[in-house]
Amino acid sequence: MITIITATYNAQASLPTLIASLRSQTDRSFEWVVMDGASEDATVELLKNAHDVLTRWVSEPDFGIYHALNKALQMARGDYYLVVGADDCLDPRAIEHFSRAAAESSADIISAPVLVEGKQIAPRRRMSWLRSGPPMVSAHSVGSLIKRSLHREIGPYSKRYPIAADTYFLLQVWRRQKQFAYLQQTVGTFGTTGLSSGDTLGALCESFRANVEVRGRLFLHVMLLLVRIIANRARITAGLKRHRPR
């Protein structure tokens, strides 16, 4: 069985689309665990009305998305789990494809293509010094089925990385030479309203720290960080304007 885990906070605008995509799954042999950060909008009411697909949920204050995901993992029962954000959407056959791959493979992580703003993003099948973000996968959320037992060896998502704990975790999976497998089928749409998309500079800086900690080569990663900041200057400027005190 696959556990789908979701962290929510004031997600009433996007959550109905996710719920609808879960209800449309051709393979319903999954459980859905939601950790809500004490939402103040209609999120809790939406969760209460999703009892046909929602297995367990808690609404209480937390310290950010990865703290919520760690709590959800403690409640999970599946051998594999799939992180799906409140603003994400699964293809109707996503669980079917992932379940078949998990049954046929002993891989620690199974990754598949995802759609981001209408563009297909394929899994990264090899390490590259030039890329930032989660290694060896298309995306951490939606696109990567992860064996839950990895956390017994590596530990939970690190609280030292509020934005890029997924990158840090997957870098450690790669360093331990765990097995990655890949699907050809697109499994869903990755939303772009989350923390990493809204704070591009923060995401780049945390990814830089994670890569230096796991892979070393400080000078190389400093140069790559500068290149990435220049390449993303428009998004960084827009993000800073949105968060500038008024």
230 in a domain, yes or no?
no
Q: Rounded to a whole number, what is the distance in angstroms from the first to the last CA of the chain?
A: 48
Per-residue pLDDT of the chain in tens (246 residues, 90 and over written 9): 999 999 999 999 999 999 999 999 999 999 999 999 999 999 999 999 999 999 999 999 999 999 999 999 999 999 999 999 999 999 999 999 999 999 998 899 999 999 999 999 999 888 877 777 888 999 999 999 999 999 999 999 999 999 999 999 999 999 999 999 999 999 999 987 765 556 889 889 999 999 999 988 898 889 888 888 888 878 777 766 654 544
CATH code at 69?
3.90.550.10
The structural domain count of the chain equals 1
- pLDDT of res. 234: 81
- pLDDT of res. 194: 60
* Domain housing 180: 2-194
- pLDDT of res. 246: 43
Neighbouring CB atoms inside 10 A of 229's CB total: 15
What does DSSP assign to residue 177? T
214 in a domain, yes or no?
no
Residues 6+ apart with CB under 8 A from 96: 25, 26, 27
126 in a domain, yes or no?
yes
- pLDDT of res. 109: 97
149 in a domain, yes or no?
yes
- pLDDT of res. 224: 85
241 in a domain, yes or no?
no
- pLDDT of res. 10: 95
207 in a domain, yes or no?
no
Helix H segments across 106-217?
150-154, 165-175, 195-198, 200-215
233 in a domain, yes or no?
no
- pLDDT of res. 56: 96
Cα–Cα separations (whole angstroms), residue 188 to 9, 56, 66, 110, 124: 21, 23, 21, 14, 17
224 in a domain, yes or no?
no
